[in-house]
Structure 1
Amino acid sequence: MLSISFLAILLVASAASETIPKLNCSTDTHAAGVYVNGSVHMNDNPLTHFDAPMTDGFNITSGEDWSFEAVSADALSGMGFTFSRGTVAGHALAQRMFLAVAWPNGTRFIEFTFADVSTIEMCDNMTRGRWYNETSGMNWTFEASKDYSSTVVTVQSSTVQGTITLDAISPAVYPNGRLYPDPLGDNLFAPALYWVENVPVAVAKANLTIRGTPFVVNGIGGRERNWNSFAWAEISARWDMFRAQIGPYTLMAWTFESKIDGKAYFSGVIMEGKEVIFQTQTQEPSEDTTYGSLTLQNNGAIRLSSDPSSTTPLPESRHTGYLLELVAPKTGQRWRFEMDYTKCVYWFAAGADGRLGGFVGAIKGGLVDGPQYNGRASGTAMEKN
């Protein structure tokens, strides 16, 4: 016969189990080389969680990315890495990890690693992603909170081990500056190119060992999502994109030239805390609508260039940074930011007619006729040959 005390324990345990939230999870798994014939749907629902899989499978041309960046507090080291599915960099139907880092002394490391399988697990309170190769033991994972506030990446391969964390200091936004979730958010940025910012800017920390050498970053970073009907080289003529933290502001800027229609697309967003205080997708000056421009600068000391150890170096970038100007005619506010490259993280051929680079930089500026600040930035650029 059960004792009264034992029955009490069972009752307490039963009550406790009822208070523990039961997580509902769904899993989306894709294997390298597996595809469908014909077209696949690109998710354009603005209310779909930004970390969710955004395609109904993959055909021979489509792909999707979860992309990350980080820059050190002194802007002398940085990194970029991407979890990819689908056709990427000339590899059809791949499950790929890309990692590039630059140390303060100019040494670089770059690696393209291909997985057998990728899995995205969407749960009530978090998202888990895993890219795994059984033969090599490669195991890259990310775990992100549902509200995007916290992201932890774990790396395990024969060459790289360690963790990377992002703690968001700005809200998740669409290209049109609206905060997630918003039925008026628009995730189509340009023809065949969908883009959202899960974490425009975050406190970033990386603690890696790369071929036995430590790589440590304490600074800022961020992450974004892209999903495309066609490979990057097929839809992109050129682009320039960066994220930054400067004084009380965090900001995002991207100008993109489409190969599909030949037009230039632009997005500029300034945030203060968890609030968007400026947004535009217009480059034409106006008397009543916000507008802006991202202009290439050529007066800095650093250009995007091939790894110094390369035996077949590419031409250096034609520019050394950017001038970002954003105008709100109705309030009379003007922001002006100058960003100079401080280190090239990577620079390599992108298709037959372009070069792709990652960079970190120093940024200065603020409101015209207002307080001026200094900060840090990271980003990517694609330049025409």
Structure 2
Amino acid sequence: MHKRNIFHFLCLSPAQAFSPPLARQREAAQHPMSPGNDTSCLTSYTSRYDMVRGRSQVPMLTSDGRGRAWGQPAIPALNSTAGEQWEFDGVSADGAQAFIFGVYRDPNYAFLGTGNLRAYVELAPGDGPRYAVVDYAEEAAVTTCPGGGGTRGVWRGPGFAYTFYVAEDMSRARWTMESAEANATVEMRSLSRPRYPDNTMWSRDGAPGDLAVVPHFYWAEPIPAAEVRVQVTMRDRRYSWVGVGGHERLWGAFNWRTCLRSLKIVRFQAGPYSLSLWEFGSSRAPDTTFSSVAMFEDGEKIFGVAGTSRGDPAAEVEEVEEENGNRIVLRKLYGGEGITTENLKDKVTGVELRLVQPSRQLEWVFTVTFKKVGFEYVLTEGRGGTGYAGIVSGGPVEGQDAQMEVGPAFVEIMRFPDGDWWLLPDNYIE
């Protein structure tokens, strides 16, 4: 997007912001368009059923080049197995409200006749039941404009539009939804820096980085933690709140069930500290887990651990240690003051995270207490995933006690069934 167009894009409604209609951009898909004095834009256009036919391999991003925008599609052309998503989440400052939003280019439910362009929103207000919707768009476009324009996307169908915008330096983001049932606008201002899975910080002039986390699955974190400002209208009610959130990019050569056995996420902001932890349990390499955590103080990274460990990803206590001695200990808490799932087996009520940095003789301890179920998906065998909104407390340890900072926290705990699951079967192909 040209610099002069950024303001117009942020102010227009989703239906207006991508004029002319996306269908007119079909000829320009994956080609530079609208060249300016110092930049040109690249648009990737996809219609509902676009897919490379047959068992065809397609290009997929596994490591990025210098200064590449992470909002660009990682899989330019879909085949029958590969998929990707743009994900945003947030929790209110009191831990009582939450959202999750994602748009997908993903063929793995195409057999249902719904197409490949999914949009998903779940909103958890403080005074009522959760609102969830899954829409399948007729068309989608992702446009990236170097030179300051950032990346914007739109997923659109009859009666609805979902959009996102991410600044080129990934310091800001925005997503919107417009439909007959609900309207939302969410603004994000980063409290952190974009990072690779190994905790290398992204920069325009930085060296290329590896994006693999487990076999056939990839992840980048444009915004590990952000201040979020949310405005939602639904059920004839208006909700407005401020809290913490983040933005992720996830993609894989096969569906999630084929690549992943489990997933854990912890994200919070407490005083000057903001933290993001992601843990991917591999399905292709049993008992192998990749974990990556980064903590920032006033926007600068002060602690990080990333690495692969072996063991049961469903264990109550997990520990990851780097060669330099930095380590994390993640403990699930049971029977505490927090709420828990009513539908899944794992009745966790909170988590404790201990960060240890021997070289500087530093240690931090944070405890998250769950206050609300932000979203949940129930699979089989009592397995599935739950996203919790909650409150974190903790800080640096001095003597026997941790200094107490308090703030909002988001935690997701997911485990796939061990047996066959008809809706998302293993789709691995050699």
TM range (shorter): 0.7 to 0.9
Q: Which residue of 1 aligns with 2:258?
A: 234
Instruction: Quickly say closer, same or farther: Cα 1:171–1:287, change in 2 above 3 A.
Output: closer
Instruction: Quickly say closer, same or farther: Cα 1:257–1:303, change in 2 above 3 A.
Output: farther
Q: Count residues in correspondence.
A: 357
In the alignment, structure 2 segments of 5+ residues that lack a partner are 1-35, 308-318, 418-430
Mapped contact 2:87–2:103 kept (Cα < 8 A): yes
- Matching of residue 371 in structure 1 with residue 408 in structure 2: no
Matched residue type, 1:175:
P
Matched residue type, 2:160:
M
User: 1:384 and 1:115 mapped to 2: Cα distance?
Assistant: 27
Q: Which residue of 1 aligns with 2:62?
A: 44
Structural mapping, 1:129-168, within 5 Å = 129-133=153-157, 136-168=158-190
Q: Which residue of 2 aligns with 1:298?
A: 334
Mapped contact 1:30–1:117 kept (Cα < 8 A): yes
- Matching of residue 281 in structure 1 with residue 306 in structure 2: yes
Mapped contact 1:364–1:374 kept (Cα < 8 A): yes
Matched residue type, 2:413:
A
Q: Which residue of 2 aligns with 1:209?
A: 233
Please give the per-residue CA displacement for 1:100-154, whole angstroms capped at 9, x wherever unaligned.
1111135211111110111000112211100011xx2211111221111221222
Instruction: Quickly say closer, same or farther: Cα 1:164–1:60, change in 2 above 3 A.
Output: same
- Matching of residue 325 in structure 1 with residue 361 in structure 2: no
User: 2:168 and 2:218 mapped to 1: Cα distance?
Assistant: 20
Q: Return the match for 1:33 from 29, 34, 49.
A: 49
Instruction: Quickly say closer, same or farther: Cα 1:285–1:180, change in 2 above 3 A.
Output: closer
TM-score, normalised relative to structure 2: 0.78
User: 2:137 and 2:330 mapped to 1: Cα distance?
Assistant: 37
User: 1:217 and 1:33 mapped to 2: Cα distance?
Assistant: 37
Structural mapping, 1:119-130, within 5 Å = 119-124=141-146, 125=148, 126-130=150-154
* Bigger-Rg structure (1/2): 1
- Matching of residue 53 in structure 1 with residue 81 in structure 2: no
More divergent stretch after superposition (78-87 vs 231-240): 231-240
User: 2:344 and 2:63 mapped to 1: Cα distance?
Assistant: 41
Mapped contact 1:294–1:325 kept (Cα < 8 A): yes
User: 1:132 and 1:286 mapped to 2: Cα distance?
Assistant: 44
TM-score, normalised relative to structure 1: 0.86
* Structure 2 residue matching 1:87: 3-state secondary structure: coil
Q: Offset of 1:318 from its aligned partner? A: 2.2
Q: Offset of 1:354 from its aligned partner? A: 3.1
Instruction: Quickly say closer, same or farther: Cα 1:191–1:77, change in 2 above 3 A.
Output: same
Please give the per-residue CA displacement for 1:201-245, whole angstroms capped at 9, x wherever unaligned.
111111111232223221111111101111112222112102111
Mapped contact 2:86–2:103 kept (Cα < 8 A): yes
Mapped contact 2:344–2:383 kept (Cα < 8 A): no
Q: Offset of 1:317 from its aligned partner? A: 3.5
Mapped contact 2:305–2:322 kept (Cα < 8 A): no
Q: Offset of 1:329 from its aligned partner? A: 2.1
Structural mapping, 1:1-385, within 5 Å = 23-36=39-52, 37=54, 38-47=56-65, 48-88=68-108, 94-124=116-146, 125=148, 126-133=150-157, 136-181=158-203, 182-183=206-207, 185-262=209-286, 263-282=288-307, 283-285=319-321, 288-305=324-341, 314-315=343-344, 317-350=346-379, 354-369=383-398, 371-384=403-416
* Structure 1 residue matching 2:258: 3-state secondary structure: helix
User: 1:250 and 1:21 mapped to 2: Cα distance?
Assistant: 39
| Cα-Cα RMSD | 2.2
Percent identity over paired residues: 25
Mapped contact 2:192–2:225 kept (Cα < 8 A): yes
More divergent stretch after superposition (81-90 vs 371-380): 81-90
Q: Offset of 1:372 from its aligned partner? A: 2.5
Matched residue type, 2:291:
F
In the alignment, structure 1 segments of 5+ residues that lack a partner are 1-19, 307-313
Instruction: Quickly say closer, same or farther: Cα 1:43–1:285, change in 2 above 3 A.
Output: closer
Mapped contact 1:253–1:294 kept (Cα < 8 A): no
Q: Offset of 1:288 from its aligned partner? A: 3.5
Please give the per-residue CA displacement for 1:66-116, whole angstroms capped at 9, x wherever unaligned.
101111111111111101111356768510111111111352111111101
Mapped contact 2:63–2:208 kept (Cα < 8 A): no
Please give the per-residue CA displacement for 1:345-375, whole angstroms capped at 9, x wherever unaligned.
1112247773122221111111221533111
